[in-house]
Amino acid sequence: MSSKPYILAIDQGTSSTKTLVFDESGNVAAKGTAKLGIRYEHHFVEQSPEEIYSSVLQAVKACRDHMARQGIQPNQIAGVGLTNQRETFVLWDAEGKLLYNAISWQCKRSSAICDRLKDAGKEALVKEKTGLPIDPYFSATKLIWLVENVPSIAAELERGNVFFGTVDTWILYKLTDGECYMTDHTNASRTMLFNIYELTWDNVLLDELGLRGLKLPEVRPSAYAYASSTFEGTFAEPLTICAVVGDSQAAALGAGCFQSGEAKATLGTGSSIMMAVGQDLRHKGQDTVDAIYYSTDNGVVYAAEGIIVSCGATVTWMRDQLGLFAEEGALEQMVKDVPANHGVTVIPAFSGMGTPYWKKDAKATITGLTFASDRSHLIRAALESVCFQVKDVITATETEHQLTLSQLHVNGGMSENTFVVQFLANVLNKPVLCSAMPDASALGCARLAAVTLQAAPLETRLPQHHVSVQQYNPNADWEAVQSSYHNWLEHIDRML
């Protein structure tokens, strides 16, 4: 064992920051966590940048204290990996003074701006350069909203005094007292300002979007020695941050998607599905998102991504707004008790539909109800909708990239529901793998940090041989499965 066998991973997410210490085999040796608030107001979703930063410090401190109880010394930490919620951004000035709250990836304030850009025919240009569709999900249109609606930001932009940063950049900036103004390829690729083929901020796009003069961070590989920090005195000696990567990408790396055609689906409130494509993006996605998966000294690896807006959110709505059940635990048995959905179909467009439909203004529908329908049918149809949406994304990805899904790894809260995972295996007609390791994003960024530290192949880092992985194989009548999926597609067609 080396004298520095541990890696500290920081996972800065939307509702909390988690920290985990991994040993060389991928065992979790210590943990810390800190909660984080979020403000929802109609279509506006914001967070406090200071709170984001302090949640990182708190979670790192909690982890340090746990390390001490486990007998791990800070000088046994070889380096730090940082993974973070993507698309959320912060603006500050040359003095480091905040210009606004952090605008969350969930915020849809720029819906009308997206329509305007599409009407002006900008969609092809944006897609061609960034790999992204024009959608409020990505940072740029919400930045335009701020420039158009907050006079002080417009004035500062005019003076060249607006510094833009995704959450990783903000954390690096704060940890280094403004010394490190950087981001990685994966985070840059979610802003809708970064050319994912030329690997530069796109000046043509910045001009077209009225953002000329915006200060943007230097972009580095995901596996890279960014900066060193004591985390404001949490550690006596500075630790080096050796990796930065968006959390969905990190979750795919943590799940072990290393070969083209391997994919992961994080089934949370919504879902991000990512399929590894390789170093060469030969076919560009039309309805899927072309994403930078990760980058090292050896270059950039691409992935295809699909975004589902409503997964667990549909079930939460059925619990909180319709009162159909009280606890998640009861849910699984309830749906297993009914052999089918009895003709009930839920199209969960509560906040529009993402990949491959990109209909941000669509509304949810429940169809096929009769007096014989009961809550189990509704819930079953809601859970089926999660799987059908994943199938939609996988089908679009396979077609656009001329790849075949080999297997799907699932993680996130809904992957604990065995009905969902089995139904997914049936709908995809492929094995679905569910790891007992819940913190895939932290593991993924720790793997990248290990690559920076040891220049070894990514797939050999922190192998986690001890963690059990449950495999679900298709076990239903394929014709029946196909017929229910066709029924879903027909309903989608009607909705569109």
Ligand X SMILES: O=P(O)(O)OC[C@H](O)CO
Contact residues for ligand X, defined by CB under 6 A: 13-14, 85-87, 105, 246-248, 268
Nearer to ligand X, 221 or 268 (CB): 268
Nearer to ligand X, 156 or 247 (CB): 247
User: What are the residue ranges of helices labelled H in 288-336?
Assistant: 312-320, 328-336
Nearer to ligand X, 32 or 427 (CB): 32
**Euclidean distance between CA atoms 70 and 58, whole angstroms:** 18
Question: Minimum distance between the CB of residue 249 and ligand X, rounded to whole angstroms?
Answer: 9
Q: CA angle, corner 113, sides to 107 and 115, nearest 5?
A: 110
**Euclidean distance between CA atoms 116 and 287, whole angstroms:** 20
**Euclidean distance between CA atoms 22 and 104, whole angstroms:** 29
Question: Minimum distance between the CB of residue 25 and ligand X, rounded to whole angstroms?
Answer: 25
Sign of the Cα pseudo-torsion (265, 395, 106, 310, in order):
negative
Nearer to ligand X, 92 or 105 (CB): 105
Question: Minimum distance between the CB of residue 270 and ligand X, rounded to whole angstroms?
Answer: 8
Question: Minimum distance between the CB of residue 291 and ligand X, rounded to whole angstroms?
Answer: 10
Residue 463 CA, distance from chain mean position: 22
**Euclidean distance between CA atoms 162 and 430, whole angstroms:** 48
Nearer to ligand X, 183 or 341 (CB): 183
- 187 CB contacts (<8 Å, ≥6 apart)? 84, 86, 166, 167, 168, 169, 244, 245, 246
Nearer to ligand X, 104 or 484 (CB): 104
Nearer to ligand X, 107 or 379 (CB): 107
Question: Minimum distance between the CB of residue 15 and ligand X, rounded to whole angstroms?
Answer: 7
**Euclidean distance between CA atoms 355 and 77, whole angstroms:** 40
The residue with tokens 């509304």 is 363
Question: Minimum distance between the CB of residue 160 and ligand X, rounded to whole angstroms?
Answer: 29
Question: Minimum distance between the CB of residue 473 and ligand X, rounded to whole angstroms?
Answer: 29
Nearer to ligand X, 11 or 384 (CB): 11
Residue 83 CA, distance from chain mean position: 10
Nearer to ligand X, 14 or 19 (CB): 14
- For residues 240 and 77, the answer to whether their CB atoms sit within 8 Å is no
- 217 CB contacts (<8 Å, ≥6 apart)? 164, 165, 169, 181, 182, 183, 188
Question: Minimum distance between the CB of residue 369 and ligand X, rounded to whole angstroms?
Answer: 32
- 406 CB contacts (<8 Å, ≥6 apart)? 259, 261, 262, 430
Question: Minimum distance between the CB of residue 170 and ligand X, rounded to whole angstroms?
Answer: 14
Question: Minimum distance between the CB of residue 475 and ligand X, rounded to whole angstroms?
Answer: 31
Q: Which residues on adjacent β-strands are paired with residue 296?
A: 299
Question: Minimum distance between the CB of residue 329 and ligand X, rounded to whole angstroms?
Answer: 23
**Euclidean distance between CA atoms 252 and 305, whole angstroms:** 11
Question: Minimum distance between the CB of residue 274 and ligand X, rounded to whole angstroms?
Answer: 11
Sign of the Cα pseudo-torsion (148, 150, 153, 159, in order):
positive
Nearer to ligand X, 386 or 481 (CB): 386
**Euclidean distance between CA atoms 201 and 196, whole angstroms:** 9
The residue with tokens 């790999």 is 131
Nearer to ligand X, 16 or 399 (CB): 16
**Euclidean distance between CA atoms 420 and 385, whole angstroms:** 10
Q: CA angle, corner 38, sides to 34 and 44, nearest 5?
A: 160
Nearer to ligand X, 14 or 314 (CB): 14
The residue type of 115 is: D
- 372 CB contacts (<8 Å, ≥6 apart)? 342
User: What are the residue ranges of helices labelled H in 195-327?
Assistant: 203-208, 247-255, 312-320
**Euclidean distance between CA atoms 303 and 263, whole angstroms:** 9
